[in-house]
Amino acid sequence: MKKIIATGLSLCFSFLTLAQEATESSRTQPLYRSSASRTTDVVHMDLKVKFDWDNAYLLGEATLTLKPHFYELDTFVLDAQGMEIQEVKYVSEGRSTSLQYEYDGRQLRIATGRTQTRNDEMKVFIKYISKPNELQVEGGQAISEAKGLYFINPQNHPHGWMRQVWTQGEPQSNSAWFPTVDQPNERMTHEIAITVPRSYATLSNGRLDFRTNNSDGTRTDFWLMDQPHAPYLVMMAVGEFASQSEEWNGIPVNYYVEPEYEDVAQMVYPNTVEMLQFFSDRLGVTYPWQKYDQITVREYVSGAMENTTGVIFGDFMYGDSLTWADGSGEDVVSHEMFHHWFGDLVTCESWANLPLNESFATYGEVLWKEYKYGEEEGEWHAYMDLRAYMSEYNRGKSVDMIRYDYNSVLGMFDRHSYSKGGRILLMLRRVLGDEAFFAGLQHYLENNAYSAVEIHDLRLSMEAVSGLDLNWFFNQWFLDNGHPVLDIEHEFNREEGKYYVRVTQSQDLDEMPLYRMPVRIDVYTSLGTNSHEVWIEDEHEEFVFEVNSKPFLVHFDADQYLLAEINDPKPVDYLLHQLAHGPRMMDRYEAFTTIISDKPSGVRQSTIVRIGMQDDFWAIRATAVNEVEELPEAQKADLKSYVQALLNDEDTEVQARALDVWHKVYGEGDVNFYSDIAQNSNSDKVRATAFDIWASMNNAAAYAHAMDNVKSSRGERYAAMIDVILSDPSRIGAQGVVDLMNAVGPEQQGQIHYNLPYFMSRLNESERESVLNLASEIHEQLGRAEMYFSFGIRMALQKVEMESDGEEYTDAQIQSRKSFLESLRS
């Protein structure tokens, strides 16, 4: 017996030893962010909401039509973040029965009372209170908070914004204000009844079905969304908004703004109707929803959001005729509108597939620019996308576009999903050609309407239309990371009459793919220009072209479409020919910036800058005039008349830069010249530049002008005025600043509070209290003012540190000011 026992123990210990060794050496599955399994299905939501303004609560009653997606269930599971659940009932034919449920603050598990099949629908009534300000959540790069529901100045403080409520659901925050299955692959219809004071406007998805005045002085608006969409696209906004309306193709188009912007509401959202027509025509799919509404809110936590039929924008959209002359929010309008096809009609099934939403919306901006303002504007916008992606890449981020291993959902909202994806779609268009590309998009939209998609659905549509196998393209661009690094080598063999172009893919091939790509190489000779379409597939490639003489230029990637780092050391004569004869704006820009950067011998830099200042495209002119200041003194005089001509350029960015150079480099223009521009230019940017110069020449006059006009100013000129007003504490004094803060509106407080810490550091201790008390009061109502104040503290500390080397302040004064600023941090 003992022997048997001993043997058994030996076997047991041997097994445990082997198990331990196996555990230590065994592998685990890599992180995989799958699409959400569809178990509980929300078919329809009937939601009634009203607000407890004092506590910033939403009082909700949701009746959800639920069913199992496929497999039988005896428990429905809903997302419901941070709510107080008061009742859960089964409702049928006017009767209700309480249901058992469990709630952990994040998910609500409802026992159905019996097994439900996919053929059964069950209506569940949930009464709850949403408490968004008590919800502990984190934001990210593109969406700074994730509370879902936002009360702005709910108690109507006089220093606060116009009282309002709005929502932000993406990626999974709408379940903080209504219970749902908060996943992008869920689809539901809904109706929302919103009860508000009668003076308030409401906005939600779909159409306003009807409204009812209640006996208590409130009104209830009933919004019906009868086309299915994802829960994160549900929206609501409430406040004393004004609106303008028009109609396109039989559907209403509404522009919601604060009352002071009512007369210019359509300028806030420029070219909306024309965009609806253009995108419908270009895609071959007419805008598929009941209406198109846009609204601008305060303290928004993102740039804008493509909620179906009800787009929400941050208040950067607001401005005036002067700021809009320099550029409007048109890019954002086109981005959010394009989402109504790519993101709303056809939605990524998981956040790993987010580029199917955001890459398309980013490329929609390029398409609009190309159509409305010409190919060069589209080309420039796409180049800005390339720079944005490269900037993120150079900061160390290189990830797959379709990421099933992301660390956080909000981390997906990056320059890869937006900018890089837009450039990839540009390349796909180039590979397929326009006709096949847009026919493929039409096929993709029509075959996947009102449903969730993954990256292969896009590939399959493009393949179905084009007849091509596109796995190679999607694998290297969407399912892998990085980009090609192409080293180009040129050789001309006069005896053979041949020109060799050698291409090496030098990216890290252990981390990135070996790319396959078509490229156009243009060879410029005395007989004309020959274009050659070649394919790069291997690590080392050589292309040979027959030529009658040494080319004037051999231009690799003549389409300027590759998402790549291209190291092409062109000789200066090639660059000069490209600058003079390149047919594309990017040809000229590339040649100009390379010559300016390399400063090749034998080339007079002022000649190159002059050519740039005379270019047809504004960005090249703006870049060129900036270079005047860097020229050798002897060459600056060559360009004086050209800079003067740019003072009246059609582009305001060029004007502003030329004005700065006109003053700094040439010392031209008297006080009257600059004060006249500061007061009469049609551009905010130009006025601000002129005002800064005016203030440097006659600060007292500029100060007087600022004090008279600061309340009515916006944009860069407003910031310039605040800089001057707060530059001298002895002139305005503590009481003057208090009066100023009380006089301006909430949207103007930010710049004041940015300058305030440095200003207060130069006040006497007894003077600081009144300013600081009012600033603190405003911070409680305006998160933006508090944020600017924090930035201002850092700026002030840097300034005081620099002043420590001067003679204006004693060491004791410097230390006292530093201590005061450090105390403000708390």
pLDDT, residue 142, reads 58
Q: What is the mean pLDDT of residues 748-754?
A: 96
Q: What percent of the chain has pLDDT over 70?
A: 96
pLDDT, residue 18, reads 44
- Length of the chain, in residues: 826
The rounded distance, in Å, linking the Cα atoms of 558 and 523 is: 10
171: cis peptide before it, omega within 30°? yes
pLDDT, residue 138, reads 67
Q: How confident is the model at residue 139 (pLDDT cuts 50, 70, 90)?
A: low
The residue among 522, 511, 455, 523 whose CA lies nearest residue 484 is 511
Q: What percent of the chain has pLDDT over 90?
A: 92
Q: Would the pLDDT of 741 be above 60?
A: yes
Q: What angle do CA 113, 128, 104 make, to 5 degrees?
A: 65
| pLDDT tens profile 178-237 | 999 999 999 999 999 999 999 999 999 999 999 999 999 999 999 999 999 999 999 999
Structure tokens at 773: 């008390």
**250: phi > 0 → left, psi -120 to 50 → alpha, else beta; which?**
left
pLDDT, residue 49, reads 99
**602: phi > 0 → left, psi -120 to 50 → alpha, else beta; which?**
left
| pLDDT tens profile 527-553 | 999 999 999 999 999 999 999 999 999
| pLDDT tens profile 491-541 | 999 999 999 999 999 999 999 999 999 999 999 999 999 999 999 999 999
Query: In this structure, what DSSP letter does residue 730 have?
Result: H
Q: What angle do CA 514, 520, 522 make, to 5 degrees?
A: 135
The rounded distance, in Å, linking the Cα atoms of 33 and 19 is: 29
Q: Which residue has the higher pLDDT, 82 or 781?
A: 82
> Crossing angle, helix 783-803 and helix 811-824, to 10 degrees?
160
| C-alpha dist (Å) from residue 328 to 318, 673, 693 | 9, 28, 25
DSSP string over 102-122: EE-SSEEEEEEEEEE-TT--E
The residue among 570, 627, 581 whose CA lies nearest residue 604 is 627
pLDDT, residue 141, reads 58
Q: Would the pLDDT of 23 be above 60?
A: no
Q: What is the mean pLDDT of residues 9-15?
A: 42
Q: What is the mean pLDDT of residues 229-248?
A: 99
pLDDT, residue 806, reads 85
| pLDDT tens profile 345-384 | 999 999 999 999 999 999 999 999 999 999 999 999 999 9
pTM of the predicted model as reported, rounded to 2 decimal places: 0.94
pLDDT, residue 94, reads 84
Of the listed ranges 15-24, 586-595, 653-662, the least confidently predicted one is: 15-24
Q: How confident is the model at residue 146 (pLDDT cuts 50, 70, 90)?
A: confident
The rounded distance, in Å, linking the Cα atoms of 210 and 777 is: 41
Q: Would the pLDDT of 9 be above 50?
A: no
Q: Would the pLDDT of 144 be above 80?
A: no
The rounded distance, in Å, linking the Cα atoms of 625 and 619 is: 10
pLDDT, residue 136, reads 81
Q: Mean pLDDT for the chain?
A: 95
| pLDDT tens profile 602-639 | 999 999 999 999 999 999 999 999 999 999 999 999 99
pLDDT, residue 16, reads 46
The rounded distance, in Å, linking the Cα atoms of 57 and 704 is: 46
pLDDT, residue 8, reads 42
Residue partners of 743: CB distance under 8 A and separation at least 6: 711
Q: What is the mean pLDDT of residues 801-817?
A: 90
Q: How confident is the model at residue 2 (pLDDT cuts 50, 70, 90)?
A: very low
Q: Tell me if residue 13 falls in helix, strand or coil.
A: helix
Q: Would the pLDDT of 442 be above 80?
A: yes
The rounded distance, in Å, linking the Cα atoms of 251 and 522 is: 48
Q: Would the pLDDT of 143 be above 70?
A: no
| pLDDT tens profile 291-350 | 999 999 999 999 999 999 999 999 999 999 999 999 999 999 999 999 999 999 999 999
Query: Quick check: 793 and 824 in contact, CB under 8 A?
Result: yes
Query: Quick check: 347 and 184 in contact, CB under 8 A?
Result: yes
| pLDDT tens profile 37-68 | 999 999 999 999 999 999 999 999 999 999 99
| C-alpha dist (Å) from residue 530 to 500, 524, 548, 554, 566 | 15, 7, 12, 10, 21
